[in-house]
Amino acid sequence: MMKKTSIAAALLLASLNLHAVLTEDVEVPYVPFEIKMGKHFDVVQSNCLTCHSFGYILNQGKQPRHFWKEKVEKMVDAFKAPISKEDQVLITDYLFEQYGNGQP
């Protein structure tokens, strides 16, 4: 349990510090962002920040639930992000809760 927590903390630091390096690798633009520490943020952190920055995700603005659901599915189908069905639901919940526009 302790170990898991410290790995998560290390990943957070790595994703923040190595931000520029990561975005450079996939050639996506740097986008400044405000991270909202909502429920299931940890799941987003471990599944969504390996290929691009958090700002790149939030650049979409406030969106309906189906939009976020489809984006998560696109990452899995088109880019082969290895994310379990269960985590896909948690991530969609997080994105909609924090960056949703209230529409289904």
Binding site for ligand HEC (CB under 6 A): 26, 47-48, 50-52, 56-57, 60, 71-72, 74-75, 79-81, 83, 91
- The answer to whether the CB of 72 falls within 8 A of the CB of 92 is yes
Supply the minimum distance, in Å, between the C-beta of residue 39 and ligand HEC: 15
Token pair of 65 as six digits: 């639930």
How far apart CA 84 and CA 73 sit, in angstroms, is 11
CB atoms within 10 A of CB 67: 19
Rank residues 35 and 51 by Cβ distance to ligand HEC and give the closer one. Answer: 51
CB 35 within 8 A of CB 46: no
CB of 54 to ligand HEC, least distance (A): 9
Of the pair 48, 93, the CB lying nearest ligand HEC is at 48
Tell me if 8 sits within 8 A of 45, measured CB to CB: yes
For ligand HEC, the closer CB: 30 or 79:
79
Tell me the closest approach of the beta carbon of residue 38 to ligand HEC, in angstroms.
13
